[in-house]
Structure 1
Amino acid sequence: MDSLLFILMLIGALGVSSQWIAWRFRMPAIVVMSVMGLLAGPILGIISPQEDLGSMYSPLISIAVGIILFEGSLNLDFREIKGLGKPIFRITTLGAFLAWIIGSLAAHYIADLSWAVAFVIGGIFIVTGPTVILPLLRQAKLKPRPAAILKWEGIIVDPFGALVAVFAFEFVKFVTMDTVTFATILAFLAGSLLGAAIGAFFGYGIGWMFENGYVPEFLKSPVVLASVVMAFALSDTVMHETGLLAVTVMGMTIANMHISSIGDMRHFKENISILLISVIFIMLTASLNRETLLSIFDWHIILFILIMLFVTRPLSIFLSTINTDLQFKEKLLVGWIAPRGIVALTVSGYFAGVLLEAGFDDAEILTSLTFGLVFATVVAHGFSLGWVARRLGLSTESKPGVLIVGSSKFSVNLAKVLEDLNIPVLISDSSWSRLSHARRLGVPYEHGEILSEQTDYQIDLTPYEYMIGLTEYDSYNTLVSSTFMPAFGREHLFQLPLQVNQGDHLEDVSKHISGRLLFEEGANWSALNEKINKGFLFKKTTITQKYTYNQFLKDLDSESVLLFILRKSGNIDFFTPKSEIRPEAGDTVVSLQKPVQN
């Protein structure tokens, strides 16, 4: 292709469409992007980004990887580490170190890589791919402890993989040079410290400016993005390959300043990172030539992948969790599940170029080696996690859960009905007195402010696919929906209809920031709780071939309210004022009905 604009458009379109297909059909995004990139590149020969983009290729990869690592390091709040249990702490420290050492030895002795390349790739492979593992956990429905271990391992170790690779590369490069002197080692340490200082300076500066109101809201995201690129470029100019260290330190600095706009910043960076990851992954896979692709089937690489799957990961987990309360079957599950993700491939693609420039010719197979491991782990772990968890008895086998914000007589009774139907449910409220309803009925609850930044590690959101705002304040329900829209998606966020005659008068609130309205027009907080006070009861009605939905509607009192349908599959469909959902035979309809008069 001669048109650079067309090539850039095609790369972006392939990346984003791959993400959409993966979401639509509940597939690992990395698998879809692999197929797309390989089809467009080495198989059909439509594009070859490395050749088509020329001198722009390496800088684009470098900056994108820097932004991706910055976004990952924004999640590393040290308060989260303090609250972790002994097994998670061990796995994210000793386990990561053991995985690096064992993986590097395997890369050297099995894949026949030089020590420099082996230790760099070993550092990258300690990352277990949070962009891959978190969606898998939602699908697999693991029990809380193994789910928490895999989740926090992915989040905490993610920023350190590239950091370990940077130090390994710089250290081994200096050690393997013919002219290693005290001055060169000192220059390496000074360059690394300067890179970290640049990152900390930019991070602290951004946080200070944001907290003191020196940057308006509409400029915050552009300022952060520009600052990440500046920190990366400045550090890399002072000493090559320290840019990644700078942006990682910058993200960690901002994360631990606990600034009020950190949530908005995370959401923006997540969106940018998804776009960059999609684009970079397509570029890397499409740039593979057929020879490199076929080299994946070399017995050295296949054996290395098998060693990583069946030796390195289980051994690092079992050794690091000695003398912890982790059960054997939990060790088996955690020792098996370690999908490497898109970040591993993008970072290894970056280091492949860097190592080749430094004269390490064996780095040429890094991309194919990483691609083979990433693809193998995503397929093997992605499609086996649920089965293995069930076989080990570590799967909850529960239906998609519901997180209810706001404790009242209606919401607590609704939660009780959901619990009786074996649906995971949790009520969150900042008022201890309002939670008395939940305590009285024995419904699971969380005392705290759902909008607090502490929520991320106080409440495990994994079991819950739906969030509904059931407080008496329309504005608060809308704020909750707006805040959690990136996490749940608008199709799974609900709130009560607005109270037109009282409350906040938000009838003109934008539909783009509010959740989907529940039940029916007029079924607001006051109306629903008034019905509970009048003795209205929650009824569960199973629709059959003989007792059809039409017959059920005929028997329903006009004051009754249709709430939701529990499908045979276990999914929940909430009734909304504009919904046209209909139950089928075998489905259960839950409604709030007027008590039968004697």
Structure 2
Amino acid sequence: YIFGLSWQISFLFSALIIVTGPTVITPILRNIPLKKDVSAVLKWEGILIDPIGALAAVLVFEFISVGESVGYTQTALIEFGKILLFGTTFGFTFAHVLAFAIKKKLIPHYLLNVVSLSVVLLVFVESDVFAHESGLLAVVVMGMVMGNMNLPNIKELLYFKESLSVLLISILFILLAANINLSDLELIYNWETLYIFLIIVFVIRPLGVFISTAGSTLKFNEKLFISWVGPRGIVAAGIASLFGSKLLTRNEPGAEYITPLVFVIVLGTVLLNATTARVFAKVAGVFLKNSQGILIVGASRLSRIIGEYLHKHNRHVVLIDNNATNIEKAKKLGLEAFDANIYSDALSDNIELNDVGYLMSLTGNPDINEFAIDKFGDQFGENGAFRLINSQEMNDPQNNPKEGLFSHTDDFIKLMETTKKYPSIHEIDLKDRAHYEQLIEMTNADDDIIPIFLKAPDGDLKIISSYSTDFNDIKKGYSLVYLGKMFDNEKGKGKTQAKKES
């Protein structure tokens, strides 16, 4: 309407700019500590909207290509159906074929990355042969299917994919930008371009966010921030360049506006969000000043019991382990857990851990516990980074490290023995600091009682370190949270807070 373009070209432009790019959203979110819900919505919106936006653009393009002749709508819908059919079929089938080859070790390890890339390119081309523009959907489906399989070398493929993505996206942006002539930019060097940009940022994006999140648990300020962060990415620019050039060769009226307009929207939204997202997060009140999430390294039975207690008390808790069985058990308890190698850099790039401010390393390997504190203590332990003491430190209580967890008399082996005999967490009300210190002395003398948290009247939980007498403001209303058997004077009072794990 603003540029006086036809409805067909206007709809194509609209379909192209609904795509928000994960390649530009992810770097922005990495630098802003946000609640997990907000960062997850923005991250997955960018990932899922890519193929949806591409398909919407393809559908509109087919309508334009067919023209307003007999069978106009029917032909376009048939083409769209073919894209869905062949894209989904090729992606699903070849995902299982490649996964089978990887699991059966039919591909030599040193050729795994090369063969995987070759199969992806083959799927893209073959699907495109059967249904034009279905290749993108095919490889997206293939990636989604393989990503949810338990593949032995999935981490290596992901690292290879990340390196390849950075290289190809950088090259693609250069090539696409080089495809725009100065005369194309002169077409949109006017006030109408600014009007379109402002309408997209301040009207269309907020309207879409508030309508789509109606009835969700997101608060108004969180919806407002999501409305502000909507940078368009490489898919919009790439498809705009492709379709724009094709329509120009067919002398479609208004086709010359498609590529430069989309590029202006991509460039403008990326620059706007990259420079203002952090400030706007503070203004909107979604910027986390104090990260209260807890990252637990190790998903043993001990970690799962503690994680379940924290989860029930509304703390964002994440368990990581390279033992798939432990991770699966944690997920069955409703906990957020994922397979991760503590020695890799993948954790540092996980934007859904932005609200983590406490680190607890609970593995049975002292070297891993110390490494976790050294490597991730600053990033994930801004409020406190703790680890289990080792057997040598346990025998020298006076020289326990300040990051030691729970008690200076309990290492991983003793904790697991207690967990095996008494897999429950209890609470006992405190009268004052003296009462707390008395109970701590009792736990030191009893191998079957492990103090883990100090619970404030408002429900806030403070992690107890091996220097367990550091708390000074204890008064009536506080509670001691502990693992193991109940104190003798608490038996029968129903203070158990976590069910036994089967």
Matching of residue 323 in structure 1 with residue 187 in structure 2: no
User: What is the match of residue 45 of structure 2?
Assistant: 153
Equivalent residue for 1:356, pick from 248, 260, 281:
248
- CA 1:371–1:183 in structure 2 vs 1: closer, same or farther (change >3 Å)? closer
Deviation (angstroms), 1:281: 0.3
Number of residue pairs aligned between Structure 1 and Structure 2: 376
One-letter code aligned to 1:128 = T
- CA 1:130–1:171 in structure 2 vs 1: closer, same or farther (change >3 Å)? same
Q: Quick check: 1:341–1:374 contact (8 Å CA) kept in 2?
A: yes
Listed one character per residue, the Cα deviations across residues 485-532 of structure 1 (whole Å, up to 9, x for unaligned) are xxxxxx96689xxxxxxxxxxxxxxxxxxxxxxxxxxx9974774487
- CA 1:362–1:205 in structure 2 vs 1: closer, same or farther (change >3 Å)? farther
Matching of residue 308 in structure 1 with residue 206 in structure 2: no
Matching of residue 378 in structure 1 with residue 270 in structure 2: yes
One-letter code aligned to 2:321 = I
User: What is the match of residue 168 of structure 2?
Assistant: 276
Distance in 2 (alpha carbons) for counterparts of 1:427 and 1:185: 50
User: What is the match of residue 219 of structure 1?
Assistant: 111
Listed one character per residue, the Cα deviations across residues 186-234 of structure 1 (whole Å, up to 9, x for unaligned) are 4663465234323333223212222232222222221221122222222
Normalising by structure 2, report the TM-score.
Answer: 0.63
What SS does structure 2 have at the residue aligned with 1:426?
A: strand
- CA 1:231–1:477 in structure 2 vs 1: closer, same or farther (change >3 Å)? farther
Distance in 1 (alpha carbons) for counterparts of 2:316 and 2:217: 26
Distance in 2 (alpha carbons) for counterparts of 1:384 and 1:244: 32
Q: Quick check: 2:84–2:137 contact (8 Å CA) kept in 1?
A: yes
- CA 1:190–1:383 in structure 2 vs 1: closer, same or farther (change >3 Å)? closer
Equivalent residue for 1:266, pick from 129, 144, 158:
158
Matching of residue 426 in structure 1 with residue 295 in structure 2: yes
User: What is the match of residue 138 of structure 2?
Assistant: 246
Matching of residue 165 in structure 1 with residue 85 in structure 2: no
Distance in 2 (alpha carbons) for counterparts of 1:528 and 1:372: 63
One-letter code aligned to 2:37 = R
Which has the higher Rg, Structure 1 or Structure 2?
2
Q: Quick check: 2:51–2:140 contact (8 Å CA) kept in 1?
A: yes
- CA 1:186–1:126 in structure 2 vs 1: closer, same or farther (change >3 Å)? closer
Q: Which stretch shifts more, 347-356 or 134-143?
A: 347-356
Listed one character per residue, the Cα deviations across residues 224-250 of structure 1 (whole Å, up to 9, x for unaligned) are 211222222223233432322332333
Q: Quick check: 1:426–1:444 contact (8 Å CA) kept in 2?
A: no
User: What is the match of residue 182 of structure 2?
Assistant: 290
- CA 1:428–1:114 in structure 2 vs 1: closer, same or farther (change >3 Å)? farther
Deviation (angstroms), 1:275: 0.6
Deviation (angstroms), 1:154: 2.0
What SS does structure 2 have at the residue aligned with 1:346?
A: helix
Q: Within 5 Å, give how 1:134-533 maps onto structure 2.
A: 134-174=26-66, 176-177=68-69, 180=72, 186=78, 189-190=81-82, 192-398=84-290, 425-433=294-302, 446=317, 448-451=319-322, 458=337, 460-463=352-355, 471-473=363-365, 526=390, 529-530=393-394, 533=397
Listed one character per residue, the Cα deviations across residues 137-176 of structure 1 (whole Å, up to 9, x for unaligned) are 2222223332232222223223322122223322443353
Deviation (angstroms), 1:338: 0.8
Distance in 1 (alpha carbons) for counterparts of 2:367 and 2:251: 61
What SS does structure 2 have at the residue aligned with 1:534?
A: helix
One-letter code aligned to 1:134 = T
Distance in 2 (alpha carbons) for counterparts of 1:256 and 1:438: 24
Deviation (angstroms), 1:282: 0.9
- CA 1:477–1:175 in structure 2 vs 1: closer, same or farther (change >3 Å)? farther
User: What is the match of residue 577 of structure 1?
Assistant: none
What SS does structure 2 have at the residue aligned with 1:430?
A: coil
Q: Quick check: 2:92–2:142 contact (8 Å CA) kept in 1?
A: yes
User: What is the match of residue 8 of structure 2?
Assistant: 116
Distance in 1 (alpha carbons) for counterparts of 2:178 and 2:360: 43
One-letter code aligned to 2:301 = W
Matching of residue 534 in structure 1 with residue 398 in structure 2: yes
Indicate the RMSD between aligned Cα atoms, in angstroms. 4.2
What SS does structure 2 have at the residue aligned with 1:397?
A: coil
Normalising by structure 1, report the TM-score.
Answer: 0.54
Listed one character per residue, the Cα deviations across residues 91-140 of structure 1 (whole Å, up to 9, x for unaligned) are xxxxxxxxxxxxxxxxxx23444333333332232222212222212222
Distance in 1 (alpha carbons) for counterparts of 2:90 and 2:401: 63
Q: Quick check: 2:293–2:355 contact (8 Å CA) kept in 1?
A: yes
Q: Quick check: 2:16–2:53 contact (8 Å CA) kept in 1?
A: yes
